[in-house]
Copies of this chain bind each other. A is one copy, B any other.
């Protein structure tokens, strides 16, 4: 059987179709002949199923066609028992490197298990471009699969709020000296200045105070500039992005509290009935500008940490006051 490289297609003369497509899901048939993407030809060369392409063995072919990253992922998925097609054979659109079929299925069926994108750990990934499973190949050629989803951001933590609570801006936080008890206890704003005195003064973050001020709940000393201005002084644009996410979460009846101990912006509680009896927080939220580009290593760090504390890692992509949500989690195909 002859295999020839024609541009970026390897053409196998007949009976390539029967042997490799019908039985094992390689390539795109063209009558009895078969068109293979370089990564598919590389895999057949690696396995010894074809001997050479235009005289090139596996080593020379890999060096010539530069499909090393794709090959590593393709091989890994084949080793895991999947058939898969390069996106081009399925008109899968930009960003989809492989269409992976359910185990036992192949390109002759209609079902798809994963739409997958191959990324080297040194590439950047535009936040808004993530809508398929990521296969990240690290520098030692190990592969981390990250599943992508749209999280459910809604809760039942809704409460009536008081008005005209006096707050004092102290450095980058706000103290409410005489708040109504329910503001902390039920609505879970701030934290008691004295942990043992939940009915005493509470400290709020600038975000909590800014949101409460928007809702006419809190007002600060007249001699101070507004809370938002203070937030911008200490955090720049990031403060506005975080406030947009804070507001959106509260409007969806989800309580955001700081995610500092987890290295993220927020941890969130969907169903708070009382600050004394909190359940497990469900999400860790990292806020980024919609134009952000992720380093894969940072994604690996966030997702691994969230997994370890049994939470879902959520990224909030902010464009002005608009927020889009994206959740990522480790996946074992």
Chain B residues contacting A297 (CB-CB under 8 Å) are 260, 263
Say if the beta carbon of A102 comes within 8 Å of chain B. Answer: no
Q: What is the bound-complex CA distance between A144 and B208, given in angstroms?
A: 20
Determine whether the beta carbon of A191 is less than 8 Å from that of B142.
yes
Determine whether the beta carbon of B139 is less than 8 Å from that of A207.
yes
Contact pick for A262, options B139, B173, B205, B300, CB 8 Å: B300
Write the chain B residue with the least CB distance to A47.
Answer: B194
Chain B residues contacting A261 (CB-CB under 8 Å) are 138, 142, 144, 300, 304
Determine whether the beta carbon of B191 is less than 8 Å from that of A301.
no
Q: What is the bound-complex CA distance between A234 and B124, given in angstroms?
A: 12
Per assembly, the copies of the chain total 2
Within 8 A of B (CB), among A246-282: 257-258, 260-264
Determine whether the beta carbon of B68 is less than 8 Å from that of A139.
no
Chain B residues contacting A305 (CB-CB under 8 Å) are 263, 301, 304-305, 308
Determine whether the beta carbon of B304 is less than 8 Å from that of A66.
no
Say if the beta carbon of A97 comes within 8 Å of chain B. Answer: no
Interface string of A19-46 (1 = CB under 8 A from B): 0000000000000000000000000001
A62, A171, A190, A208: which has the most chain B beta carbons within 10 Å? A171
- From known contacts A234-B122, A305-B305, infer whether A257 and B172 are also in contact, taking CB-CB under 8 Å: no
Q: What is the bound-complex CA distance between A75 and B138, given in angstroms?
A: 46
Q: What is the bound-complex CA distance between A66 and B191, given in angstroms?
A: 20
Determine whether the beta carbon of B304 is less than 8 Å from that of A139.
no
- From known contacts A263-B297, A263-B301, infer whether A140 and B172 are also in contact, taking CB-CB under 8 Å: no
Say if the beta carbon of A7 comes within 8 Å of chain B. Answer: no
Determine whether the beta carbon of A139 is less than 8 Å from that of B173.
yes
Task: Determine how close the nearest CB of chain B comes to the CB of A203; give it in whole angstroms.
Answer: 5
Interface string of A155-186 (1 = CB under 8 A from B): 00000000000001011110101000000000
Determine whether the beta carbon of A120 is less than 8 Å from that of B308.
no
Task: Determine how close the nearest CB of chain B comes to the CB of A307; give it in whole angstroms.
Answer: 9
Write the chain B residue with the least CB distance to A297.
Answer: B263
Residue pairs across A and B with Cβ atoms less than 8 A apart, 5 shown, are: A139-B173, A140-B260, A262-B300, A308-B308, A308-B309
By a beta-carbon cutoff of 8 Å, the part of chain A in contact with chain B is 46, 59, 62-63, 66, 68-69, 75, 79, 120-122, 136, 138-142, 144, 168, 170-173, 175, 177, 190-191, 193-195, 203-208, 234-235, 257-258, 260-264, 296-298, 300-302, 304-305, 308-309
